[in-house]
Structure 1
Amino acid sequence: MSMYQTVVKAIGSEAGLFKEEQMLILFGENAPETLKNYCYNIEVLPVERPIEKNMTLRIGDDQYRITAVGNVVTKNLHDLGHLTIKFDGAEQADLPGSLHVALGEYPDIQLNTKITIN
């Protein structure tokens, strides 16, 4: 069973711009207007326990090992549905709200794509 699970409810018109930078932004329905167009909007749901290194992030059919977790990742995801995911394999988070995962193919995210962490 997943310790966190949600789905993509809407996709901002500019959300795909970060693909070149190998990152994406998730945000719940209360995303600030300045960010809304750059985010994948998700349903805000509780996080069962802290997100930790070596857990697995799944986006649709794609799976990634978590390599680094910023110190506010769990709180931001739980409270706001906000998470910045970087597909760079970094062993240390560069920002408090960043989740880094092992290098892999950038996911194809559509409406209703399921996102889980376990």
Structure 2
Amino acid sequence: MTLYKTNIVEVGSDAAMFKEENMMILFGKEAPAELADYAYIIDVTPLAAAIEVGMTLSFNSSEYAITAVGNVVDKNLTNLGHITLKFDGSTEAELPGTLYLEAKALPEASAGTVITIN
């Protein structure tokens, strides 16, 4: 069952700058102008249920295991489309708005990329 599905509609001019830190920032179309340049802008869509460790987040066909979930990730993703993705394999959520994923190369992401959580 797909818990969540959205599309990247735009990539901020400086979004790739966080790759060195193994991070990506997602934000809905209502992103403040000062943040939009650093984010992957997505369609805001609701979650079907809570995100849990062990689920999979995918960018098209690139899959990443979810290793930890910050305590406001579900709320922020549903309401603002705004979360940080950290690809470091952390098993404890240090930041409330961050979704932690297995440590491997960041996905190629561009306008039209489909993001799903299963």
**Pairing of 1:62-81 with structure 2 (within 5 A):** 62-81=62-81
Pair 1:28-2:28 in alignment: yes
What's the TM-score once normalised by structure 2's chain length? 0.97
**Pairing of 1:27-106 with structure 2 (within 5 A):** 27-106=27-106
**Post-superposition shift, 1:110?**
1.2
State the percentage of identical aligned residues.
50
Structure 2 CA distance for aligned equivalents of residues 93 and 29 of structure 1: 26
Count of paired positions:
118
**Post-superposition shift, 1:105?**
1.4
**Post-superposition shift, 1:34?**
1.8
Structure 2 CA distance for aligned equivalents of residues 103 and 59 of structure 1: 15
Flag as ranges the 4+ runs of structure 1 deviating above 4 A: none
Structure 1 CA distance for aligned equivalents of residues 35 and 89 of structure 2: 25
Structure 2 CA distance for aligned equivalents of residues 3 and 73 of structure 1: 14
Structure 2 CA distance for aligned equivalents of residues 104 and 70 of structure 1: 20
Over aligned residues, Cα RMSD in angstroms? 0.7
* Amino acid in the other structure paired with 1:31: A
Structure 2 CA distance for aligned equivalents of residues 95 and 63 of structure 1: 22
Mark the runs of 5 or more structure 2 residues left unpaired by the alignment. Answer: none
What's the TM-score once normalised by structure 1's chain length? 0.97
Structure 1 CA distance for aligned equivalents of residues 62 and 47 of structure 2: 20
**Post-superposition shift, 1:104?**
1.3
